[in-house]
Amino acid sequence: MTYRISYTSGRLRDPMHYAKGFVPLLAKNNDQLEQAITRHVWSPCVWAGGVRLKKNFIGSDLCVLDVDNGWRLNDCIDYLRRIGTWSMVGITKSHTPAHHRMRIIMRWAKTIEDVTQYEYNLSRFIETTAADVACRDGARFYYPCRGIVYQQNGIDVPVLTQKRAPSPPPGLPKNYDAVPPWMADELSSGVPEGRRNRSAFRFALHLKQRGVDEGHAREILAPIVSPGFTPGELGKTIWSAYRYERGG
């Protein structure tokens, strides 16, 4: 598997100096990716001419989240194990035992070539984690990680196509307005077999954060039920998500 990113070398200066001069890099394996993001100023985005502007966005292979809002390292690892994605976790230079600051790196199932679609897909994870909302910016860059402290194999993150007015799946309750567009898209498109448990957990975490009670969450996520994922399994997953404590 290859990963296309952008990087720039030289002294670490004020962020305004990193407006251009980014070079695309094709990392051919995890080791090359790790070296790039621990030694260089880098970005999961590639820009035309190396000029860091949203209008110059060419594509992205990676989903990157900057986590610094109550989560600890173990919270990140636990979350990634539960959703089962291919992932890395890097700690930043400002990470301390008292103040955990990390970056979660996951892999898109296909290259995203539209900046609006890129930001839309990132919002799915920003809204269900402790990630900085600035992560979704199509011109975002990152300073080098101090090191990669966790890696796991797993599924790639499916890429959704943004819909202007997603239609709710049939049979959903009146409190469907608590469902954000990205979740509506996934429910309308149908969650693939093998991902239903992980998706249900992620959805339930978000609904809990929005103040939706556990009973309504069961109604909203009912379309996920299938012969391979029973109502009982859905209920157990939602129960687990509603009792999952972040920052514990």
**Same-domain status, 122 and 235:** no
Residue 149's SS3 state is strand
Lowest mean pLDDT among 66-75, 156-165, 199-208: 156-165
**Same-domain status, 141 and 179:** no
pLDDT band at 163 (very low <50, low <70, confident <90, very high): low
Percent of the chain topping pLDDT 70: 88
Between CA 33 and CA 105 the distance in angstroms is 11
The enclosing H or E element of 8 equals strand 3-8
Does the structure show a pLDDT above 60 at 167? no
Does the structure show a pLDDT above 80 at 52? yes
Between CA 53 and CA 57 the distance in angstroms is 7
Give the pLDDT score at 11.
52
Give the pLDDT score at 191.
83
Pairing of strands 41-43, 3-8: antiparallel
**Same-domain status, 97 and 212:** no
Domain-ending residue, one of 152, 186, 216: 152
Domain assignment of residue 247, yes or no? no
**Same-domain status, 192 and 235:** yes
**Same-domain status, 143 and 238:** no
Does the structure show a pLDDT above 80 at 169? no
Give the pLDDT score at 224.
86
Domain assignment of residue 168, yes or no? no
**Same-domain status, 33 and 129:** yes
pLDDT band at 109 (very low <50, low <70, confident <90, very high): very high
**Same-domain status, 91 and 128:** yes
Domain assignment of residue 159, yes or no? no
Paired tokens of 14: 């004020």
How far CA 54 is from CA of 37, 85, 116, in Å, comes to: 21, 27, 9
Give the pLDDT score at 166.
47
Domain assignment of residue 133, yes or no? yes
Domain assignment of residue 109, yes or no? yes
The per-residue pLDDT of the chain, averaged, comes to 84
Using the Cα atoms of residue 104, residue 106, residue 111 and residue 117 in order, give the sign of their dihedral.
Answer: negative
Cα Rg, the chain, nearest whole Å: 18
Domain span at 198: 174-242
Mean pLDDT across 140-160: 93
**Same-domain status, 46 and 119:** yes
pLDDT band at 114 (very low <50, low <70, confident <90, very high): very high
How many domains are contained in the chain?
Answer: 2
For residue 144, give the CATH number of its domain.
Answer: 3.90.920
Does the structure show a pLDDT above 60 at 174? no
Does the structure show a pLDDT above 90 at 13? no
Paired tokens of 130: 């402790």
How far CA 243 is from CA of 60, 128, 183, 203, in Å, comes to: 34, 15, 21, 14
pLDDT band at 154 (very low <50, low <70, confident <90, very high): very high
Extended strands (E) in 17-136: 23-27, 41-43, 45-47, 57-67, 87-91, 102-112
Domain assignment of residue 67, yes or no? yes
pLDDT band at 165 (very low <50, low <70, confident <90, very high): very low
**Same-domain status, 60 and 141:** yes
Does the structure show a pLDDT above 50 at 182? yes
Domain-ending residue, one of 152, 185, 220: 152
pLDDT band at 188 (very low <50, low <70, confident <90, very high): confident
Domain assignment of residue 157, yes or no? no
**Mean pLDDT: which of 12-21, 121-130, 150-159, 225-234 is highest?**
150-159
Does the structure show a pLDDT above 50 at 157? yes
- Main-chain phi, psi angles of 85, to 5 degrees: -90, 155
Domain assignment of residue 167, yes or no? no
Provide CB contacts within 8 A for 143, sequence distance 6+.
12, 41, 92, 93
Paired tokens of 104: 């979660």
**Same-domain status, 198 and 116:** no
Provide CB contacts within 8 A for 46, sequence distance 6+.
4, 5, 6, 22, 24, 57, 58, 59, 60
**Same-domain status, 197 and 232:** yes
The enclosing H or E element of 37 equals helix 30-39
Mean pLDDT across 176-182: 71
Paired tokens of 229: 């994922």
Domain-ending residue, one of 152, 186, 208: 152
Give Cα 175 distance to the centre of its chain.
25
C-alpha torsion 209→211→216→221, nearest 10: -20
Give the pLDDT score at 248.
45
**Same-domain status, 50 and 87:** yes
